[in-house]
Chains A and B, each alone.
Chain A
Amino acid sequence: MGVGGFNQEQQPMKLSNEKVCEMIKQTRSELSDEEFDVNASLRGIGLDSLDIMAVLYLVQEQTGVEVPDEEINNLDTIAKIVEYVNSR
Chain B
Amino acid sequence: MYGIERIASYIPEEQLEIGPLAEAVSADPEFVRTKLGVTRLPVLDSELDTSDLAVAALNRLMAGDSVARDEIGCLIVCTQNPDGEGLPHTSALVQAKAGLPSSVAAFDISLGCSGYVYGIAAVTGFLDATGMEKGVLITADPYSKIVNRNDRDTALLFGDAATATLVSRNGPWKMIASDFGTDGAGAENLVKRDGQLSMNGRQVFNFTLSRVPDQIRKVVADAELRLDDIQVFVLHQGSRYIVESIGRRLGVPAARVPVAIEETGNTVSSSIPLILETVLESKNNKHIVISGFGVGLSWGSAVLTRNSSQ
Contacts and interface: CB of A to CB of B under 8 A. Distances in A.
Contacts of A4: 186, 203, 206-207, 210
Interface residues of A, number: 14
Looking at chain B's contact residues, the main secondary structure is helix
A57 B205 contact: yes
Contact of B206 (A48, A50, A60): A60
Interface in A3-50: 3-6, 48, 50
Looking at chain A's contact residues, the main secondary structure is helix
A72 B202 contact: yes
A60 to B, nearest CB: 7
Interface of B: 31, 35, 183, 185-186, 200-203, 205-207, 209-211, 241, 245
Nearest to A5: B210
A57 B245 CA distance: 11
Contacts of B210: 4-6, 61
B55 to A, nearest CB: 37
B35 A5 contact: no
Contacts of B201: 53
B186 A3 contact: yes
Given A3-B183, A4-B206, A5-B206, 9 more contacts: A4-B203, A5-B183, A5-B207, A6-B206, A48-B31, A57-B206, A57-B209, A69-B200, A69-B202
B130 to A, nearest CB: 37
Contacts of A6: 206, 210
17 contacts: A3-B185, A3-B203, A5-B183, A5-B210, A5-B211, A6-B206, A48-B35, A50-B35, A50-B241, A53-B202, A54-B245, A56-B202, A57-B209, A60-B206, A61-B210, A69-B203, A72-B202
Contacts of B203: 3-4, 69
Nearest to A66: B206
